[in-house]
C-alpha cells in the first residue's frame, strides 16, 4: 500500500533545534521512539518513553562512539521489504522489528573544516553510522520515511500533522531524493578535503541552497544560483538579483579586490570595467572612474572598497545604475540612495574565497585555478634602455590590475589611479588598442604621458608603434613573443619604457 502508518521511529541527531514539535506530533499517534546519546536524553526530558539503541542491539556504544547503530537489528528494521514474504519471514525469525521513520543528521564536517579544526577533529566529524542510516532508509523509500536534515523539519512536521503520522509513497520518495542530495553533498565535501593534498584527477562540486532566478542570461533560458548569497551580502534595497546581475557582481568584486590598500571605485558593464579609479576620497574615486565612460556607466554595476559616505552618495545618486556594492553605507547616504526603489544596494559582508573556477564545456567540465597573481613591482623586468619613472611604474601596475579582469584581447590605457579607456574582447590586439584610443579621445582624454597594458605579448611591433603616435610613454606586457625584440627596438628608438612581467592574463 502507498499509505503507510509510522509505528516506530529511530531518531539520532546532532542538532536538536526544531525537533521537539516533531516528537510531539509522533507521540500523539503512539509512535515508539528508538534513540542514542544526547537525542535519547532530549526525548526523555520531554517525558516520552524511548528505547536506547544499546537495548535494541544488545551492544553498547563502542570505540568512542564510532560504532552505535551499525547492527542488523537497526539496519534490518530499516531495510527489510515489507511486501517481500522472504524478508518478512527473516525479520520474524531474527526478531527484527520494523523501523518506519528515520530522523538523522550528519556530523558538521564542513563547519569543522571552515572553522580551522585540527585534522583529528575533522576526521572525527566524518559520519559513518548516520550516513549509512540515511542511505539505507532512502533506499527503502517504499516502506521508510527518511528525514536527513533539520532544514526538512518544517515540511515533515506539516506532513505528520496533516496525515496523523502516515506517509504516502510520493512523500517517501521525495524525502529519499532530499536524502541522497544530503549524502552526495557530504561525501563531496570530504573528498575535496582529502583531495587538497592528493590531487586525484576527478571533478566533484556540490552546492546546496539553489535559488531559482527569474531567468538565465536571456528570458528564454532557465537560471538557478547555487551558493550562499546571504553569507556574502546583506541586500539593503532593490529588486531580486538576476543571472546577469550576479555575473557582473562577481566581476566587480574580483576587480575591486585588487585595490585593498587604496580607496577605489569600479564601474562594470557586461563584466568589463568601463571605469576604475583610486583617490584620497571615495567621491573623487567615483568621479574619476565615471570620467572614463559616462555612456557605458548608465545601468552599470558599481563597487567600492570603502563605506559609502554622503559626499560620494550625492554624486552616485545622479547616475542611473543597477547595483552598488560596498562594505557599508552611512545612514544618510543609504537613505538618499534608497530613494529609487529598484536600485540594488548590497552591503558586502565577506570577500570571495574560491580558489578554483569551472564551467561546462564539450559535454564535460573544465576547471582551473583562479588567477590570483597580481603583478607587482617585483615582477617587473625592464627590457628597454629607459626605465620607467616611479610615476609610470605606479600607472603600469594600476593598468595591469584592470587588464587582468578584462576580456581578451584587451588593452588598457591609464595614468596612475585612473583608467582612461579600454579595448576589450577584440580578435586582434591592434583592434583593441585602436578601440581604446578612439574611446579615450571621445571622452576628452589626452593620451600624452599615459601608459598601456596588454594582457598578452605583442607578436609584432605594431601596437607600440601606434601607442607612440598617441604619446603613450610606457608599456607593461607579459613578454614571450619570438619577436619581442622588434617591439623593444622600436621603444628604444622612441625613448619609451617597456617592462615584462612574465605573467599572461588571458580572460575569456
Q: Which residues are marked as active site?
A: 139, 270
What's the chain's length in residues? Answer: 508
User: First and final CA of the chain: distance in angstroms?
Assistant: 56
Give the C-alpha distances (Å, rounded to integers) separating 221 from 212, 242, 244, 247, 270: 12, 12, 12, 15, 18
Nearest to 19, CA basis, from 105, 115, 125:
105
Cell (9 digits) for 471: 604619446
Nearest Cα to Cα of residue 74 among 46, 89, 94, 44: 94
Q: Contact 313/336 with Cβ under 8 angstroms?
A: yes
Name the residue among 498, 485, 488 with its Cα closest to residue 453. Answer: 498
What kind and span of H or E run contains 35?
strand 32-35
Q: Of all helices (H) and strands (E), which one includes residue 431?
A: helix 429-442
Coil vs helix vs strand at 56: helix
Query: At which residue does the C-alpha cell 534608497 appear?
Result: 338
Query: DSSP secondary structure string, 342-405?
Result: T-EEEEE-S-----EEEEEETTEEEEEE-------GGG-EE-SSSPPPHHHHHHHHHHHHHHHT
Q: Which residue's entry shows cell 536571456?
A: 218
Please answer whether residues 182 and 190 qualify as being in contact, where contact means their C-beta atoms are separated by less than 8 angstroms. no
Please state whether 41 falls in left (phi above 0), alpha (psi between -120 and 50) or beta: alpha
DSSP code for 142 = T
C-alpha cell at 424: 576589450
CA–CA gap between residue 40 and residue 23 (Å, rounded) = 12
Rounded to 10 degrees, the C-alpha dihedral 347/352/357/360 comes to -20
Q: Which of 194, 231, 191, 183 is nearest to 209 (CA)?
A: 231
* CB contact at 8 A, 27 and 48: yes
418's enclosing H/E stretch is: strand 418-423
- Residue 127, phi then psi, degrees to nearest 5: -75, 135
DSSP letter assigned to residue 185: H
Amino acid at each position: 500500500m502507498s499509505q503507510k502508518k509510522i509505528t516506530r521511529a529511530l531518531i539520532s541527531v546532532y542538532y536538536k533545534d526544531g525537533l521537539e514539535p516533531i516528537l510531539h506530533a509522533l507521540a500523539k499517534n503512539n509512535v515508539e521512539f528508538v534513540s542514542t546519546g544526547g537525542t535519547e536524553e532530549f526525548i526523555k526530558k520531554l517525558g516520552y518513553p524511548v528505547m536506547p539503541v544499546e537495548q535494541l542491539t544488545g551492544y553498547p556504544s563502542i570505540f568512542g562512539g564510532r560504532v552505535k547503530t551499525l547492527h542488523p537489528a537497526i539496519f534490518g528494521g530499516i531495510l527489510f521489504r515489507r511486501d517481500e514474504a522472504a524478508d518478512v519471514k527473516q525479520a520474524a525469525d531474527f526478531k527484527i522489528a520494523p523501523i518506519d521513520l528515520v530522523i538523522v543528521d550528519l556530523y558538521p564536517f564542513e563547519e569543522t573544516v571552515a572553522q580551522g579544526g585540527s585534522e583529528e577533529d575533522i576526521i572525527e566529524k566524518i559520519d559513518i553510522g548516520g550516513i549509512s542510516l540515511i542511505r539505507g532508509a532512502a533506499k527503502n523509500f517504499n516502506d521508510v520515511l527518511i528525514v536527513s536534515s533539520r532544514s526538512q523539519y518544517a515540511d515533515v512536521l506539516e506532513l505528520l500533522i496533516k496525515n496523523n503520522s502516515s506517509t504516502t509513497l510520493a512523500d517517501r520518495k521525495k524525502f529519499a531524493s532530499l536524502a541522497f542530495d544530503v549524502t552526495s553533498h557530504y561525501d563531496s565535501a570530504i573528498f575535496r578535503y582529502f583531495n587538497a593534498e592528493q590531487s586525484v584527477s576527478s571533478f566533484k562540486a556540490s552546492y546546496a541552497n539553489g535559488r531559482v532566478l527569474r531567468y538565465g542570461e536571456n528570458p528564454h533560458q532557465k537560471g538557478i544560483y547555487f551558493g550562499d548569497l546571504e553569507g556574502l551580502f546583506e541586500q539593503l534595497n532593490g529588486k531580486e538579483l538576476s543571472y546577469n546581475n550576479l555575473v557582473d557582481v562577481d566581476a566587480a568584486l574580483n576587480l575591486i579586490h585588487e585595490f585593498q590598500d587604496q580607496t577605489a571605485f569600479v564601474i562594470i558593464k557586461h563584466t568589463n570595467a568601463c571605469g576604475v579609479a583610486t583617490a584620497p576620497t571615495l567621491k573623487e574615486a567615483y568621479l574619476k572612474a565615471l570620467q572614463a565612460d559616462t555612456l557605458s556607466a548608465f545601468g552599470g554595476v558599481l563597487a567600492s572598497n570603502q563605506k559609502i559616505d554622503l559626499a560620494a552618495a550625492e554624486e552616485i545618486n545622479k547616475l542611473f545604475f543597477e547595483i552598488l556594492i560596498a562594505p557599508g553605507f552611512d545612514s544618510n547616504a543609504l537613505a538618499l540612495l534608497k530613494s529609487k526603489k529598484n536600485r540594488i544596494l548590497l552591503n558586502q559582508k565577506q570577500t570571495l574565497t574560491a580558489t578554483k573556477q569551472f564551467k561546462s564545456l564539450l559535454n564535460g567540465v573544465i576547471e582551473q585555478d583562479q588567477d590570483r597573481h597580481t603583478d607587482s613591482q617585483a615582477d617587473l623586468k625592464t627590457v628597454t634602455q629607459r626605465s620607467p619613472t616611479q610615476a609610470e611604474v605606479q600607472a603600469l601596475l594600476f593598468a595591469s590590475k584592470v587588464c587582468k579582469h578584462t576580456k581578451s584581447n584587451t588593452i588598457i590605457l591609464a595614468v596612475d589611479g585612473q583608467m582612461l579607456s579600454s579595448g576589450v574582447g577584440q580578435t586582434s590586439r591592434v583592434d583593441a588598442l585602436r578601440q581604446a584610443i578612439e574611446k579615450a579621445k571621445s571622452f576628452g582624454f589626452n593620451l600624452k604621458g599615459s601608459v598601456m597594458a596588454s594582457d598578452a605579448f605583442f607578436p609584432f611591433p605594431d601596437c607600440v608603434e601606434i601607442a607612440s603616435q598617441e604619446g603613450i610613454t610606457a608599456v607593461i606586457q607579459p613578454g614571450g613573443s619570438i619577436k619581442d625584440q622588434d617591439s623593444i627596438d622600436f621603444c628604444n628608438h622612441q625613448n619609451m619604457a617597456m617592462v615584462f612581467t612574465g605573467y599572461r592574463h588571458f580572460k575569456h
